[in-house]
Structure 1
């Protein structure tokens, strides 16, 4: 089965493209998780601050 040489380039391009999609998807997910984690940490710090302020107001 003799295939034209350009078919090999097309297949290589498809494989490269698939690899890049997977790689980029992983990086995007990692960055998203970091952002979500930071936002969660900021939220928890705000909650803790409000709790401590509320305690101080209750105790005088």
Structure 2
């Protein structure tokens, strides 16, 4: 019942495999989170730049109207 692979019990091999799998999944989640955060930052930057451009247009129109 307790089969050995290279002198190591099967459950130890399984534990090591799941540890590596867990590390891989954590790395994948971290990369996905970073991409999502970068996308959000880019989107917020676009909103900010649009607001600045609108303010410049308002100032220009106000200045020309004087």
Q: What TM-score do you get using the length of structure 2 for normalisation?
A: 0.88
Question: What RMSD in Å do the two structures reach over aligned CA positions?
Answer: 0.8
Structure showing the higher helix proportion among its residues: 1
2:24 equivalent in structure 1: 19
How many residues are treated as equivalent by the alignment? 60
- Higher relative CO (Cα under 8 Å, sequence separation at least 6) belongs to 2
Q: CA deviation at 1:57?
A: 0.3
Q: Which runs of 4+ in 1 moved over 4 A?
A: none
Gaps of 5+ in 1: none
Gaps of 5+ in 2: 1-5
Q: What TM-score do you get using the length of structure 1 for normalisation?
A: 0.96
Deviations 1:28-48 (A, max 9, x none): 000000000000000000000
Instruction: Tell me which structure has the larger Cα radius of gyration.
Output: 2
More displaced stretch, 1-10 vs 19-28: 1-10
Structure showing the higher strand proportion among its residues: 2
